[in-house]
Structure 1
Amino acid sequence: MPMNMIIREKRKEIGLTQEQIAECLGVSTPAVNKWEKGTTYPDISLLPALARLLKTDLNTLLCFNEGLSEQEISHFCKGVMDTIGENGFESGFTMVIDKVQKYPSCGSLLHTTALLLDGALMMSGMIDENKERYSSQITALYKRAAKSDDDNIRDKATFMLASKYMGHEEYDKAQEMLDLLPERSAMDKSQLQANLWIKQGKLTEAAELLERKLLMMESNEIQSILISLEEIALKEGNNEDAARLAEISCEAAGLFGLWDYCSFVAPLQVASHQENVRDSISILKSILAATLKPWEMKKSALYRHIAIKSHQGNFGKKMLPALLAEIENDSRYAFLHSNTEFQQLIEQYRARC
């Protein structure tokens, strides 16, 4: 809340008029009126007396402890995504920078908007050279969030920094970030909370919590582990194990009811590593087709409660331009770039963006 609104609300709470405030502080009534309109601000020498008069403290008066609620952050982020969709990434990026300048110490805002911009930039289809300016500022947001007093926000931001440093091959910095993170607690609060809600008859709340945990933590973590193990096997030259891990990843995606797209990530890693043109193009066809196929979560027994609130919409179609740009520009697929069938496939889906 801006200072002008704090002055006005605190004045009304204690039942004083603008004239009375002016008289107590030895200023004019129009001056107090301007303070409350936000057109001018009190002289710094008046602030201690004004805070005492309004029965508040300087931190509150100067908004030092001010933050945003989760609902306000969620509403703002929706506006940013709408703006990016209508006017491009730069417009949404500017909105975020303006907001965090007004709330520079709100850790939740810093971390949430950094995640949002990270995802939007990845899906923008922008070339790497143009991404760099934005990426550095997004990393700066994570760094600020990593200094939050909130342990949860701090750990999440630190985790993202470790991931970013790894992506830039800054391995020492990545290790520094990882060393700051706590090991996973043996006590699973979410499971305990769900069990409590079940006993209380709050079945929908319990189901939503467990379904989100299964989707966002357990199943995705399993997929991530399998893909990493597959990468190790490929680097060791153990193609047989890598192929088997790719099969397991596919099976796991089906078992956990994940989006069809997830089934093809691991097999593509094997095929592209081996520079197998036929298999790579076949898998790419499946991946690109999957992006345009909605994820029907509501048909899954695993996610039927959270599917009601989910807005999958055209997520795959939105990510298609970025996926095509990656396939066309990533050196991992250089062995395909001169292939006629590959070029036709890219043109076919480029026309569907």
Structure 2
Amino acid sequence: MQIGQIILEKRKEKKVTQQTLADFLGVSKASVSKWETGTTYPDITLLPLIAAYFDLSMDQLFAYEAHLSNKEIQRIYQMLQNTLNTESGSEVLSSLRRFVRRYYACPPFILQMGLFMINHYDYFPGESLKEKQQSYLKEAQGLFRHVKESATTVELIQKARDYEAYTALLLEKPDYVLTLLGEYAPAYFPTESLIAAAFQMKKEEKRGIVTLQSALAQYVFVMMSGLTNYLQLLTNDEEKLTETYQRGRQLAHIFQLAQLNPVNLMNFQLSALFGFAQIQKEAVVLEILTDFGNVMAQTQFPVQLHGDAYFDQIQPWLEQLDLGTLMPRNTQNLQKELLELVLTHPLLAPYQTSIPYQKIQQIKEQQHE
């Protein structure tokens, strides 16, 4: 998708300046310049106006091809995310559906549009959150099934199956989840070790390091997510709940998750927080509220995936991911949602006068300044 290049070419054909085009569209000259260099994309709502100005069809403006590159998929996903902050959910949904129709023959893109839908359905029109969930998760599930049927790679088919199972879980269909995935975790074969060994054999040790670092980073994130889910099953086993929380806290400290992946860490903290609040362990609740407030205060939103001093070779791996360094959920809004979850949860009402709770309240108030 070469929108910027098309705009540049057609502007020169029309012999108009960037400022003239900017004035017509009601944007800045700098915006037009960024489009033409590929730094950013035009807002979705401007695309019909741009097409009309240059007397182009939408397909011509997009230089339409049935299949998109990873970079193009990332840009469309991010463009839709950004539009959530400026347009109504109905308009974003309409844009998403137009993209799906346009690129229905591109399974990797359809997979990401399904992912976008399950991560942002609460923005879309509907009478209630439950109604939205039922409607849009079923629609996303249909997209994942299409990917399973049309994809040609095992990796993509497995991803589509896993996302379909996730939507089934959210739709409270556990039997269907088990039908798709089975009842036991599959045996894992560490292919990254083979890849790294192959690079070492080729005397390309640096590429082997990238491979193993990216695998280790994923292990840490997956381990924290697993512990997050495990905590939710342990409210009737205080000893195991405490042990699991302490081990997760140590893991987060060892790998400095507050800086490396704060969203991953805060999800773990909230799972522990509500578990201990449910069994009325006041001292632990206050400890977790303090930790959560500290992580929230130091995190810069929106959040993107990145390495750190230890995982200092993972950038090439991050950039080749389906969404690159972009988080699947709009993290600017995720900050608000996490704060609201803490400040409105009835289990935490007894702690509203505590210092850690009030600190979190202050963070929320600073959002609106």
TM bucket (normalised to shorter chain) is 0.5 to 0.7
CA shift digits 1:50-100 (9 cap, x unpaired): xxxxxxxxxxxxx9x943232322232232223234435544433221111
Distance between the aligned counterparts of 2:91 and 2:239, measured in 1?
A: 48
Distance between the aligned counterparts of 2:281 and 2:79, measured in 1?
A: 44
Residues 1:242 and 1:278: Cα distance change in structure 2 (over 3 Å):
closer
User: Shift in Å at residue 170 of structure 1?
Assistant: 1.4
Q: Which residue of 2 aligns with 1:247?
A: 246
Distance between the aligned counterparts of 1:264 and 1:284, measured in 2?
A: 8
Q: Which residue of 1 aligns with 2:346?
A: 334
How many residue pairs are counted as aligned between the two chains? 284
Letter of the 1:169 partner, please give it: E
Distance between the aligned counterparts of 1:88 and 1:279, measured in 2?
A: 41
Distance between the aligned counterparts of 1:86 and 1:145, measured in 2?
A: 30
Q: How is 1:291-310 mapped onto 2 (pairs within 5 angstroms)?
A: 291-294=296-299, 298-301=307-310, 303-306=311-314
Distance between the aligned counterparts of 1:230 and 1:219, measured in 2?
A: 17
CA shift digits 1:220-251 (9 cap, x unpaired): 232233344444432xx321121011101111
Distance between the aligned counterparts of 1:264 and 1:73, measured in 2?
A: 32
Q: How is 1:6-155 mapped onto 2 (pairs within 5 angstroms)?
A: 66-87=66-87, 89-121=89-121, 128-129=129-130, 131-132=132-133, 133-149=135-151, 150-155=153-158
Give 3-state SS (helix, strand or coil) of 1:304's partner.
coil
Relative contact order higher in (CA < 8 Å, ≥ 6 apart) = 2
Q: List gaps (5 residues or longer) in structure 1.
A: 2-36, 40-62
Q: Which residue of 1 aligns with 2:223?
A: 222
Distance between the aligned counterparts of 2:92 and 2:201, measured in 1?
A: 44
Task: Kindly indicate whether residue 336 of structure 2 is the aligned counterpart of residue 321 of structure 1.
Answer: yes
- Is the contact made by 1:142 and 1:158 (CA closer than 8 Å) also made in structure 2? yes
Q: List gaps (5 residues or longer) in structure 2.
A: 2-54, 58-63, 320-324
Between the aligned residues of both structures, percent identity stands at: 14
- Is the contact made by 1:165 and 1:171 (CA closer than 8 Å) also made in structure 2? yes
Distance between the aligned counterparts of 1:248 and 1:141, measured in 2?
A: 38
Distance between the aligned counterparts of 1:207 and 1:89, measured in 2?
A: 43
Distance between the aligned counterparts of 1:248 and 1:255, measured in 2?
A: 11
- Is the contact made by 1:67 and 1:106 (CA closer than 8 Å) also made in structure 2? yes
- Is the contact made by 1:227 and 1:245 (CA closer than 8 Å) also made in structure 2? no
CA shift digits 1:287-324 (9 cap, x unpaired): 133124248965431x11225868689x8654211112
Superposition RMSD in Å: 3.9
Which structure has the larger Rg over C-alpha atoms? 1
Residues 1:317 and 1:291: Cα distance change in structure 2 (over 3 Å):
farther
Distance between the aligned counterparts of 2:337 and 2:129, measured in 1?
A: 11
Letter of the 2:280 partner, please give it: E
Distance between the aligned counterparts of 1:282 and 1:337, measured in 2?
A: 16
